[in-house]
Amino acid sequence: MKRATICFIVLFSAFVVFPSLSISAEKPIVIGAPLSTAFLYGWDAERGIKLAVDEINTAGGVRVGNTKRPFKVEVIDTRDLEPGVPVSDALLALEKLILDKKADFIIGGPIRSEAALAAMDLLSKYKKLSILTTGALTPLYHKKVEGNYNKYKYCFRNSSHSGVMMVEFMTLLEDLRKAHKFDKAYIMVQDVEHARKGGEFMKKALTEKGWTVIDMKVYPTGTADYSVGLHDSGKKGAQILFLWMDMPESAILLKQWSDMKSKALPVGFVNAAEQPGFWKATGGKGEYLIVNLVNGGNAPAKITPWTMKFVDAYNKKWGLEPEGYGTSSSYMAVYQLKDAIEKAKSVDTDAVITALENVDIMGVYGRMRFDKKSHQIISSMDPKEGAVTGIIQWQKGKRVQVFPASVAEGKILLPPWMK
Amino acid sequence: MEIIIYGIINSIILSLMSLGFALVYSISRLPNFAHGALYITAGYIVWLLVNKAGLPYLPSILLGLGATGLIGALMYRFIIIRIRGMEISEIIGTYAIGLAIIEGLRWGGLRGMTYTLPVFVQGSMSIGGVTVDYHRLIIVGAGVLTFALLFLFTRYNRIGLALRGIAQDERAAMMLGIDSDMTAIISLAIGSGLAGLAAVLLLPLGNIVVEQGYNVLIFAVAVCIIGGLGSWTGTIVAAFIIGFAQILTETFISSHFVMVVALLAIIVTLLIKPSGIFGKQKELEERV
């Protein structure tokens, strides 16, 4: 009798202390995460995925029919953001996740556009559902799905893309024109495909809207001096410095911009300026820079009730705010997948695809639902209608959401030397 | 005016990046392909001392330079000495050490773009209507001072004279009692220290990322090939040629071709004068 009582107490304590034990007997659903983990877009995605998985598992797991199954994450380093690493390496890593680690679903990358595009055939071959959450900004991704749905129906993307970002930038610049009578822009982009295309698009769009684009400078990766361009922009009266760069040397550009007290407000997609540590790294010289973090929730904001809940949970688990592009989308992808599996009542790929096409949840960065033909997240300027961007301005060491107006927490400030 | 000012700054930056590589090669005929890795290592050590150990900036810099010099010396004493004289092995060996250091730093946590060193003096001034920040002016001053000190060291100091002796004729110097391995250790230590000096001067302009190790190596090799491997004068002249060529290219042609300038200059040099502008090595064969 005494032994039975002790056994009961031990078992009861185990269930109280470790509630997840109740689901641990079920086979986990394996999420494969192919990410370039040495880079921001990789490690922040990994942290986002792991946070969501922890939350879901702690809450009991995923209901698949009558059982509850936990998620398990298998991360593999694709190294696709490292210079000189061929796309084939990223594909091999993805294949290893599918064949070796027996991933049921893929969330995350590959991150580089060309690797993500090449991976689509592999996902189709193995019939693996994937939610792309970070890195690849090319509209080609969802256009490929739309162009050949039966082959590429396995590919979803819950993150924004450059086509949407351009519209956002144009709206923001037009707002600035109305507010401050700006009409001269100077474009500086990195010599990589996405940045060149972004710069060319902006040049065309700004010109069509009546702006004067003074020049577009294309800088090779590794450029360590921007004095010529900055002086040129100053001499010719530029009021906007449109930037599109993901190289670390863009920090040099911003420091030079501040030292020279350039009279053009920097706006753009600048990878080096996304992380919370950017402020300290530039000694505050990044103040006033406006950066597009692609999706809302990658910095503190009040887009939906879930946004700050996510920011706080991330801060608690990892000891810092969400860092940049790829964080909120990777986190949300796990919840979207959970919702789809529960709706499908199965982990069968085709059933989950159909369910995911119908998932409609109010997430961290607005209403989250996929376009049924292209599997691209539906974007909007209104969080009630679709996924909202995260355009922030560095103000006194903080990343303040300044666009779109519906979720802005502060106004765009100009440096004192521009007034 | 900005072409002259930023041309000079750019040239001094390039020569600082290359000086350590040129010094080691000129003395020991050793192509130190770990040069870029040592550059990043120095920056990271100083960052750790300032941000993790809480030391003041100046002592951290001195300790960082000392540590980088020591790494260079140990690198020779325990690894390179075994492959000394085998040119291909030296290249492969030093490159492998460089790779191991760079990837080791990445693996050890040097990731992202938020590692940086503070500038020595905040603010900027106008020179002839061109705004220049104080830190770049300090780089110019520090660069000129370094060249002067190295010049004096190799002409008026016993160790410096021994280094020059080995550089001019290793066998004759050895006959006079100069230890070839010891001078190689000293040259590696000084060369690595110079890589470290370049790092503490240049990294405050941007941030500490491991990929810069490769860029610094490429520029150092380019400058040394164009100037002539083994020639310090050539190194400085080549740095000025590339430095001004880059600024002129950006101003009058396109920023797109700035990085190509150095590589194009290598090709032109190899076609016209393979030993480089001031290079002595293989000059005789070229004439024949």
* pLDDT for A22: 46
Report the distance separating Cα A89 and Cα A81, nearest Å: 11
Give me the domain span that covers residue B97. Answer: 2-287
Residue of B242, B254, B255 for testing the chain A interface, max A β-carbons within 10 Å: B255
Q: Which of B56, B59, B34, B39 is nearest to B193 (CA)?
A: B39
Please name which of A199, A162, A203, A130 lies closest in space to residue A370, comparing C-alpha atoms: A130
B202 pLDDT band (50/70/90 cuts)?
very high
Residue A377 is assigned to a structural domain of this protein: no
Q: Which of A262, A301, A319 is nearest to A285 (CA)?
A: A262
CATH number at residue A54: 3.40.50.2300
Q: CATH number, domain at B60?
A: 1.10.3470
**Whether A187 contacts chain B with CB within 8 A:** no
Domain containing residue A32 = 20-160+302-368
Largest Cα separation within chain A, whole Å, is: 92
Same domain, A124 and A206: no
Contact B259/A223 with Cβ under 8 angstroms?
Answer: yes
Same domain for A169 and A155: no
- Decide: A336 and A359 in contact? Cβ < 8 Å: yes
Residue A122 domain-assigned? yes
**How near does any CA of chain A get to the CA of B288, in Å?**
40
Q: Report the Cα–Cα distance between both ends of chain B, in Å, rounded.
A: 44
**Count of structural domains within chain B:** 1
Q: Count CB neighbours of B106 within 10 A.
A: 18
Which pLDDT band holds residue B284 (cuts at 50, 70, 90)?
A: low
Interchain CB distance below 8 Å, A281 and B113:
yes
A279 and A313 belong to one structural domain: no
Closest CA–CA distance from residue A330 to any residue of chain B (Å): 19
Number of A–B residue contacts, CB under 8 Å = 105
Domain annotation covers residue A221? yes
Tell whether A228 and A328 lie within a shared domain. no
- pLDDT, one tens digit per residue, over B22-34 is 988 888 888 999 9
With H, G, I as helix, E, B as strand and everything else as coil, classify residue A189.
strand
Angstroms from B254 CA to nearest CA on chain A: 7
> In terms of DSSP H, where are the helices of chain B?
2-28, 35-51, 57-78, 87-107, 134-156, 158-168, 170-175, 180-202, 211-227, 232-248, 258-272, 283-287
d(CA A103, CA B162): 64
- At residue A9, the pLDDT reads 58
Interface test with B, best of A43, A214, A225 (most B CBs within 10 A): A225
Q: φ, ψ for residue A66 (rounded to 5)? A: -100, 0
pLDDT at A21: 45
Determine the pLDDT at residue B288: 54
Percent of chain B with pLDDT over 70: 97
Upper half-sphere CA count for residue A69 (Cβ side, 13 Å): 19
Cross-chain residue pair A251–B2, CB shorter than 8 Å: no
Closest CA to B80 of B69, B65, B67, B91: B91
B8-21 pLDDT per residue, tens = 999 999 999 999 99
**DSSP element (H, E) containing B126:** strand B124-127
Does residue A318 form part of some domain?
Answer: yes
Chain B, 12 to 51: residues with Cβ < 8 Å from chain A are: 13
* CB of B127 closer than 8 Å to CB of B5: yes
Provide the ipTM.
0.79
The verdict on a CB contact (< 8 Å) between A224 and B133 is no
- Report CB contact under 8 Å: A222, B115: no
Kindly give, in sequence order, each residue whose CB lies less than 8 Å from that of residue B74, ignoring residues fewer than 6 positions away.
none
Tokens linked to A262: 């350039």
Do the chains contact at B114 and A231, CB–CB below 8 Å?
no
Looking at the domain assignment, is residue A378 inside a domain? no
Same domain, A123 and A171: no
- With CA atoms as reference, the chain B residue closest to A227 would be B6
CB within 8 Å: B251 and A228: yes
Instruction: Measure the CA–CA gap between A135 and A117, rounded to whole angstroms.
Output: 11
Q: Are A259 and A398 contained in the same domain?
A: yes
Nearest CA in chain A to B243: A225
Q: Which two tokens stand for residue B242?
A: 């590339």
Report d(CA B288, CA B281) in Å as an integer.
13
pLDDT digit string, tens, across residues B24-61: 888 888 899 999 999 999 999 999 999 999 999 999 99
**Whole-prediction pTM:** 0.83
State the Cα–Cα distance between residues B200 and B205, nearest whole angstrom.
10
Q: What is the pLDDT of residues B66-114, one digit of tens each?
A: 999 999 999 999 998 898 888 889 899 999 999 999 989 988 888 877 8
Q: Which runs of E-coded beta strand occur in A308-397?
A: 361-363, 366-368, 391-395
Structure tokens at B277: 């502008």
- What is the reported pLDDT for A2? 58
- CB contacts, 8 Å: B6 with chain A: 225, 227-228
Mutate to test the interface with B, among A36, A187, A231, A252 (most CBs of B within 10 A): A231
The reply to whether A152 and A62 lie within a common domain is: yes
- The alpha carbons of chain B give a radius of gyration, in whole angstroms, of 19
Give the DSSP letter string of A6-73: HHHHHHHHHHHH-TTHHHHTSPPEEEEEEE-TTSHHHHHHHHHHHHHHHHHHHTT-EEETTEEE-EEE
Distance between CA atoms of A135 and A374, rounded to whole angstroms?
18
Q: Residue B240: what residue type? A: F
| Same domain? A348 vs A216 | no
B116: nearest CB among A222, A225, A281: A281
Q: Is B157 on the interface with A (CB under 8 A)?
A: no
Scanning B183-222 for CB atoms below 8 A from A yields 205-207, 209, 211-212, 214-215
Enumerate residues 6+ apart whose C-beta is below 8 A from B274: B282, B286
Whether A210 maps to a domain, the answer reads yes
CA of A17 vs chain B CAs: smallest distance (Å)? 34
As for how many domains chain A has, the answer is 2
CA distance B10 to A385: 51
Per the DSSP assignment, residues forming a β-bridge with A244 are: A189, A269
Asked if B140 contacts B9 with a C-beta cutoff of 8 angstroms, the reply is yes
Q: Say yes or no for a CB contact (<8 Å) between B250 and A228.
A: yes
Q: What is the full per-residue pLDDT of chain A (419 aa) written as tens digits? A: 456 555 555 555 554 445 444 445 689 999 999 999 988 899 999 999 999 999 999 999 999 988 999 999 999 999 888 877 889 999 999 999 999 999 999 999 899 888 999 999 999 999 999 999 999 889 999 999 999 999 999 999 999 999 999 999 999 999 999 999 999 999 999 988 788 889 999 999 999 999 999 999 999 888 888 988 999 999 999 999 999 998 888 888 999 999 888 999 999 999 889 988 888 888 888 899 999 999 999 999 999 999 999 999 999 999 999 999 999 999 999 999 999 999 999 999 999 999 999 999 999 999 999 999 999 999 999 999 999 999 999 999 999 999 999 999 999 999 998 87
| Partner B contacted by A261 (CB < 8 A) | yes
Q: Which long-range contacts (CB under 8 A, 24 or more apart) does B162-165 make?
A: B163/B27, B163/B187, B164/B27
User: Bridge-partner residues for A219, per DSSP?
Assistant: A190
Chain A, window 375-394: residues with a beta carbon less than 8 angstroms from a chain B beta carbon:
none
Q: What is the pLDDT of residue A220?
A: 86
B247 at interface of A, judged by CB pairs closer than 8 A: yes
Nearest Cβ partner of B255 from A229, A252, A255? A229
pLDDT at B185 exceeding the cut of 80: yes
Candidates A32, A38, A153, A40; CA nearest to A94 is A32
CB A58 within 8 Å of CB A75: no
CA distance B166 to chain A (A): 36
State which amino acid sits at residue A208: E
Please write the tens of the pLDDT for every residue from B139-170: 999 999 999 998 898 888 888 888 888 877 87
Cα separation, A119 vs B210, in Å, equals: 28
The reply to whether A271 falls in a domain is yes
Rounded Cα–Cα distance for residues A403 and A132 (Å): 24
Q: In chain B, pLDDT over 90 holds for what percent of residues?
A: 45
**Angle formed by the axes of helices B2-28 and B211-227, to 10°?**
80
* A366 dihedral zone (left: phi>0; alpha: psi -120 to 50; beta): left
The answer on A57 and A195 residing in a single domain is: no
Taking Cα atoms as reference points, which of B40, B18, B34, B50 lies closest to residue B209? B40
CB nearest A228 (choices: B206, B207, B247):
B247
Q: Is B2 exposed, middle or buried (CB count within 10 Å of its CB: 0-12, 13-18, 19+)?
A: buried
Q: Which amino acid is at B201?
A: L
Is A315 a domain residue?
Answer: yes
